[in-house]
Amino acid sequence: MPCGGCFGGPGGGVSGPGGGGSNNKNPYNKIVYDFGILYLILSLITAVVFWFIGEYINVRRFFGENSIIQIGLYFFVLGILLFLVLLIAGLIKKVSFRVSGIIIAFICALCMFFFGMLFEFIYELDPGAKKLSIGGGGDIIFLMDNSESMSWNDPQQQRVSAVEQILSTKKSSFRFAVYTYGQKVECVRPMSPLSNGIGSLKISPSGGTPTLSAFELVIDDLDSGVLPYSSGTQVIFLTDGENGESDPGKTRTNNIINSFKRMGIPISTVTLGTLDASAQAFIDNFASQTGGSSITAQTVDLLGSAMSAVAKVVKDNRTLISPRSEMDMGWLYAMERICFLTLLGVLLTLIKLFLIMDDGRPLMIIISSLATSLIGAILLELIINNYVVTAKPRLYFLLLTTVVITQVKRTLYAGNARGVIKRYDKQGPGNGGNFGGNFGGGF
């Protein structure tokens, strides 16, 4: 008896979805979708790997203060990395790629660079907005001379009162750090919000004036992440004397200045008293080379006003993935960031879609990717200004934006009243006819 008739009667009716019978009408046939675990795992690994790469790009600032190209590069590398990972995943699963799909996905990765630059350019525009308070929202790193000469030049430690005067104008969320140098070169107050308290800043002056060593400690802490910094960060450097360390050829001085320029952090200087021309030129050079300000307080009574004067609003070097200063049109920048990051997420969605559409459910890829991109953009906007280490919010954003959620395998369990007869696998939902053709007429 032909196999096609074996189950044709009552209680039978086994037929494939692409064959002659009506699979959907057979109550014993069952279609099961499996979760795309490989894509999920690899996409999360991609996010973590790129997080390290992205933080390196942010720290190195390959294009100096040109944050527009910098952000374009950031998102371009993200797009290319996701493209390569999904391509490799498809090869592992032996997916039959469409050449057109690969080309379109690669073009989308390239577009990440151009749209990243475009959105960053728009985000940096100032449509009449003004910073709200002295110092803006940028962090301040106070670097204060605590050498022995301060014991007679500032016996009442009014330099500490000057710092407190500046902080009195700030909100509790404002972040600052304090470094001192003399007998010891050290951080006496790590970078953290004002709400954590000011701490004890009055330290008995002693020792020489190792100015260069003090700056080098700050740079080491910035580069290592011990001292986090954000958009608008500046250094306020207070001293009463010339550098007490040797520096043949000004090698150390130039390295210090170049490091702060690379990080986009200006140094503003406050000199207590009158110095000779060479000593003053040495101090002023830090400000002129990094974009800061210089001022001299002839007496300790003028320290407060002098330090407040240099604690001005510096250029808000905000980017799509960094904190920004408080603005009177902050809502506009919030909407811009959320909108632009979501649109960049759309490009990532297209990369995912055109690479794995033949091995997954396109609708699920689109909906899940757009939803997670929007959530990631909103989350970054809400929390990045509240984090001391701003790399963490970027990691959360990347995990949400790059994640691939789809169903990739459709399995048909064809059977009758006596149980499952046979299992048929089909990668992807697209070609239903291939599901059952062989047994549509029997097996």
The label of the residue with tokens 């970054």 reads: 380
Residue 342 within a domain = no
Do 365 and 406 touch, CB atoms closer than 8 A? yes
Give yes or no: residues 30 and 177 share one domain: no
Question: Going by DSSP bridges, is the β-strand pair 140-145/234-239 parallel, antiparallel, or unpaired?
Answer: parallel
Predicted local confidence at residue 25, as pLDDT: 55
The label of the residue with tokens 């954003």 reads: 397
Give yes or no: residues 219 and 287 share one domain: yes
Q: Cα separations (Å) of 361 from 44, 47, 254, 405, 426?
A: 19, 22, 57, 9, 12
Residue 343 within a domain = no
Task: Domain of residue 426: give its range.
Answer: 12-34+408-436
For residue 298, give the CATH number of its domain.
Answer: 3.40.50.410
Predicted local confidence at residue 115, as pLDDT: 96
Residue 442 within a domain = no
Give yes or no: residues 202 and 305 share one domain: yes
Helix axes 99-123, 330-356, angle to 10 degrees: 170
Residue 1 within a domain = no
Q: What is the pLDDT of residues 349-390, one digit of tens each?
A: 999 989 887 777 788 889 999 999 999 999 999 888 666 557
Predicted local confidence at residue 119, as pLDDT: 94
Burial class (CB in 10 A: 0-12, 13-18, 19+), 204: exposed
Give yes or no: residues 382 and 272 share one domain: no
Give yes or no: residues 156 and 271 share one domain: yes
Polymer length in residues for the chain:
443
Low-confidence stretches of the chain (pLDDT < 50) are 1-24, 129-137, 313, 420, 424-443
Residue 391 within a domain = yes
Do 136 and 313 touch, CB atoms closer than 8 A? yes
Question: Going by DSSP bridges, is the β-strand pair 407-416/294-297 parallel, antiparallel, or unpaired?
Answer: unpaired
Question: Going by DSSP bridges, is the β-strand pair 294-297/267-272 parallel, antiparallel, or unpaired?
Answer: parallel
Give yes or no: residues 150 and 223 share one domain: yes
Give yes or no: residues 174 and 301 share one domain: yes
Rounded Cα distance between 231 and 177, Å, is: 15
Predicted local confidence at residue 75, as pLDDT: 96
Q: Single out the residue of 158, 364, 141, 376 nearest to residue 267, CA to CA.
A: 141
Q: Cα separations (Å) of 136 from 5, 29, 77, 170?
A: 81, 66, 32, 9
Give yes or no: residues 111 and 260 share one domain: no
Q: What is the pLDDT of residues 151-172, one digit of tens each?
A: 887 778 888 888 888 888 788 8
Residue 293 within a domain = yes
Give yes or no: residues 94 and 184 share one domain: no
The total number of structural domains that make up the chain:
3
Rounded Cα distance between 28 and 132, Å, is: 69
Residue 315 within a domain = no
Give yes or no: residues 206 and 221 share one domain: yes
Burial class (CB in 10 A: 0-12, 13-18, 19+), 1: exposed
Q: Cα separations (Å) of 140 from 233, 238, 416?
A: 6, 13, 75
Rounded Cα distance between 157 and 24, Å, is: 85
Q: Single out the residue of 87, 163, 19, 118 nearest to residue 352, CA to CA.
A: 87
The alpha-helical segments, DSSP class H, found in 299-390 are 303-310, 330-356, 362-383
Give yes or no: residues 53 and 157 share one domain: no
Do 260 and 219 touch, CB atoms closer than 8 A? yes
For the record, the structure tokens of 142 come out as 């106070």
Q: Cα separations (Å) of 416 from 15, 251, 272, 285, 438?
A: 10, 85, 94, 87, 17
Residue 108 within a domain = yes
Burial class (CB in 10 A: 0-12, 13-18, 19+), 365: buried
Q: Of all helices (H) and strands (E), which one includes residue 223?
A: helix 211-224
Give yes or no: residues 193 and 227 share one domain: yes
